[in-house]
Amino acid sequence: MSIKLTSEDALLLVDVQNDFCPGGALAVADGDAVVPILNDWIAAARQGGARVFASRDWHPQDHLSFAERGGPWPPHCVQDTPGAAFHGDLALPEDTVVVSKAAQADHEAYSAFDGGELAEQLRAAGIERLWVGGLATDYCVKASVLDAAQIPGLEVHVIASAIRAVNVSPGDGDAALDAMREAGAILEDAAPA
Ligand code: VGL
Ligand code: ZN
Q: Which residue's alpha carbon is nearest to atom 4 within ligand 1?
A: 140
Residues near ligand 1 (Cβ within 6 A):
15, 26, 57, 73, 135-136, 139-140
pLDDT in the model for residue 141: 98
Asked whether 9 and 131 are in contact (CB, 8 A), the reply is: yes
β-strand partners of 66: 73
Residues 27-41 have a mean pLDDT of: 98
| Catalytic residue of the set 15, 32, 57, 147 | 15
Contact 102, 57 (CB under 8 A): yes
Q: Can you name the CATH fold of 2-192?
A: Rossmann fold (3.40.50)
Verify whether residue 15 is a known catalytic residue. yes
172-188 pLDDT, tens digit per residue, is: 999 999 999 999 999 99
Domain ranges of the chain: 2-192
pLDDT tier, 1 (very low <50, low <70, confident <90, very high otherwise): low
Strand, helix or coil for residue 59: strand
Per-residue pLDDT of 88-142, as tens digits, reads 999 999 999 999 999 999 999 999 999 889 999 999 999 999 999 999 999 999 9
Q: Pick the residue with more confidence: 189 or 27?
A: 27
Ligand 2 centroid distance, CA of 132 (Å) = 18
